Structure 1
Amino acid sequence: MSARWPAPPLLDAVLLLVSLADALVRVDIGFHTASVCAVGGAAVLVMRRHRPLLTFLLTLPSAMITDATFATTAALYTLASFSRHRVLLAFCALAYAIIDFLPWPWSHVRASDFTRADSLLHLTYTLATAVAPVFLGQLVQARRDLSRRLAEISEAREHQRLLTAQSVLAKERAQLAREMHDVVSHQVSLIAVQAGALQVGSPDAEARRAAATIRRLSVQTLDELRHMVSVLRASGSRPTELTPQPSLADLQRLVDGSAIDAELKTDLPDDLPAAVQRAVYRTVQEALTNVRKHAPGARATVHVRRADGRVLATIANTAPTRPALPLPGAHHGLVGLRQRAELLGGTLTCGPTADGGYELTLDLPATASA
């Protein structure tokens, strides 16, 4: 884990306290001018982030008159960490070094002060003191720029990954659309045609009614397939909704068109979230489909209600009255319903009843949303 810098207000407060302590230790309180310069130089550090150049200039008197140079060093570091003007930084560092090197007042400066042996050592020290915060500030600025650049690269890579995923998804959707159009739609069309022929030519009234139901369901399936094919062929430039989405208002029509003896009981309001309404509709749809497939001749009861802030949908059927025909299936229906319920914070339970029937219960929070 990388080290984390202190929060800016905390760091500013620490620098201010250290600068005041530096002034207190290095400045004679009896020297009024020096005290004012030292304390003033420390105080102006509060605006170092907003006016770094002005802050540095205001701290120079402290370095010129007193030995309290911490505030000037901190201001120069801040200026170097924000400014990209290398010439300006060089002039500021040179000015700081000259001011710190020359004794105050300047009227007392003598030529012999520059020829002493310790003058070279003092000059080297002042130059290092002036250059060090500039280099450190530039290093921090480079680190900040590098972090920003890495973040931009990561964002660009994530964007490229999403574009690649969308391209792959678009190809898969186009292929799926072709398969649905060329195979599934064709076969469903044949079913509708054959059912229509049976409806017209069969002498048995019950067979004609069954053929009419098959033809009606085939036509509805074709309409849904056409709509899904158009959705799958969309470019994906914007989210495409599978409209119209089912709601609780469509439950009665679903039950009436299920081709089984089913009864609907519901007392739900119409203001439930759309995700809850879709989950209830899809659960009832799958349950009635399973009754048709696995329990021929059974009666079904659909009871949808609201209790204690939750939505309960119970679909129960009696025992079948005739053997079920073997029909192909992927056995993913209940798995998908259970996953949908879990995503909405609910549960799906199902199992056989004591009288040989089957019961499925969906329990969802009434305020769930996807």
Structure 2
Amino acid sequence: MKRHRLPAPLLDAMLVGASLADVWVNVDTEERLAMACALLAAFALPLRRRLPLSTFLLTLPTAIVTDAVLATLAALYTLASLSRHRILLAGCALTFAISDFTPWPWSSVEVHELSDTSSLIHLSYGLATAAAPVFLGQLVQARRELSLRLAEISEAREHERLLTAQSVLATERAQLAREMHDVVAHQVSLIAVQAGALQMGTQDAETREVAATIRRLGVQTLEELRHMVSVLRASGSRPTELTPQPSLADLQRLVNGSGIEAELSTDLPDSLPPTVQRALYRTVQEALTNVRKHAPGATAAIRIHHEDGAVHAIVTNTAPARPALPLPSAHHGLIGLRQRAELLGGTIVFRPTAAGGYELRLELPIEDAR
């Protein structure tokens, strides 16, 4: 539960008011010296946090010449809550006790009056009165330091928890890298090898072309897997680029290696922002992948142009020529395209066409892309 503390100016005002009330009760207004000392002590209290020892010394005269000692005790408490000098605190407490015990004016003191039993009791009472704010101030100081230590311990534990979480994450990434290298990369390598063997061993031109495409895609996939494995194994090092970033110059090679009959039409300059170029490349890549998976035998047309301060990319495919094979898909690719477009301030739309095919439309504002 959070504790609410009074504002310092309000607390000072309340303490000064209480000290003035103590002066009003215990000091005769006709005694000018006593009244001056008491008022000085009361109005010196707001300085007690910045100048604790000086404030105590300013309030000490009122303990000598009057019975209004509230200001002196408050100053002594503040000094004890801020100072670590035990000898100084003991000396201040003893000084207060003697000042409160010794009658004023000092010229009227007789030796036998200082040695009787009542005087000793009075002195003991003064020492106890001085010890109370000192012990209380030291207790508050110890509590404050304990709270700081607990805060430091909590911060250290939080830092340790973050380090543990990072260590666990690094272990998981290393394990994932091993699995990708040992399982996925191995299987893709077998696919590429088998496709190469088929390409060399068949006499059918169409089969040879399909096998060459499978082999080329397998090799590209292996290269991307190797780079992803190296990134995962670099856990805890400086951030690295996930892939060699593609640009518009790579679009034609992407279309040629897609394994489907596709036509690319673009009039965009190469000076577009890199983020826009990557978004266009990834959009066309995902669209061609979906055509290959869900519309076997279909042809595709890619049209990319600039109009009204925005880049428009339209990928359209015809109806499939044969039934699609059932392949696992979580639609993460389309979700990623939508998120990428939204981050760049653009929009993306997927919809079927009247001819039984599918159409993807991407629009990105050039002036908003970074």
Say if 1:328 and 1:13 are closer, same or farther in 2 by CA, change over 3 A. Answer: farther
C-alpha deviation, 1:307, in angstroms? 8.4
1:112 match:
113
Does the CA contact (< 8 Å) of 2:279 and 2:341 recur in 1? no
1:48 match:
48
2:138 match:
138
> Structure 1: which 5+ runs fail to align?
none
Give the distance between the partners of 1:25 and 1:269, measured in 2 at CA.
87
Give the distance between the partners of 1:258 and 1:313, measured in 2 at CA.
21
Give the distance between the partners of 1:21 and 1:304, measured in 2 at CA.
86
Say if 1:280 and 1:93 are closer, same or farther in 2 by CA, change over 3 A. Answer: farther
2:300 match:
299
Does the CA contact (< 8 Å) of 1:319 and 1:358 recur in 2? yes
Does the CA contact (< 8 Å) of 1:255 and 1:264 recur in 2? no
> Structure 2: which 5+ runs fail to align?
none
C-alpha deviation, 1:188, in angstroms? 1.7
Does the CA contact (< 8 Å) of 1:313 and 1:362 recur in 2? yes
1:79 match:
79
The TM-score with structure 2 as length reference comes to 0.77
1:93 aligns with 2:90: no
Give the distance between the partners of 1:13 and 1:298, measured in 2 at CA.
85
1:179 match:
179
SS in 2 for 1:143: helix
C-alpha deviation, 1:333, in angstroms? 1.4
2:70 match:
70
Does the CA contact (< 8 Å) of 1:347 and 1:364 recur in 2? yes
Give the distance between the partners of 2:344 and 2:8, measured in 1 at CA.
42
Equivalent runs, 1:138-217 vs 2, <5 Å:
138-217=138-217
Does the CA contact (< 8 Å) of 2:320 and 2:357 recur in 1? no
Does the CA contact (< 8 Å) of 2:224 and 2:243 recur in 1? no
**What is the RMSD computed on CA atoms of the aligned residues?**
4.1
Give the distance between the partners of 1:223 and 1:214, measured in 2 at CA.
14
Give the distance between the partners of 2:369 and 2:20, measured in 1 at CA.
58
SS in 1 for 2:49: coil
Say if 1:291 and 1:19 are closer, same or farther in 2 by CA, change over 3 A. Answer: farther
Say if 1:146 and 1:74 are closer, same or farther in 2 by CA, change over 3 A. Answer: same
Give the distance between the partners of 1:94 and 1:304, measured in 2 at CA.
91
SS in 2 for 1:317: strand
Does the CA contact (< 8 Å) of 2:26 and 2:67 recur in 1? yes
1:57 match:
57
Give the distance between the partners of 1:191 and 1:182, measured in 2 at CA.
14
C-alpha deviation, 1:314, in angstroms? 6.3
How many aligned residue pairs are there?
A: 363
Say if 1:57 and 1:169 are closer, same or farther in 2 by CA, change over 3 A. Answer: same
1:220 aligns with 2:206: no
Identity among equivalent pairs (%): 55
SS in 1 for 2:11: helix
C-alpha deviation, 1:295, in angstroms? 2.2
Say if 1:99 and 1:315 are closer, same or farther in 2 by CA, change over 3 A. Answer: farther
Deviation track 1:180-215 (CA, whole Å, cap 9, x = no partner) reads: 112211222222233334444544444444333333
SS in 2 for 1:166: helix
C-alpha deviation, 1:346, in angstroms? 7.7
Give the distance between the partners of 1:186 and 1:128, measured in 2 at CA.
85
Deviation track 1:230-267 (CA, whole Å, cap 9, x = no partner) reads: 22223x33343244463665773675354442547668
C-alpha deviation, 1:5, in angstroms? 1.4
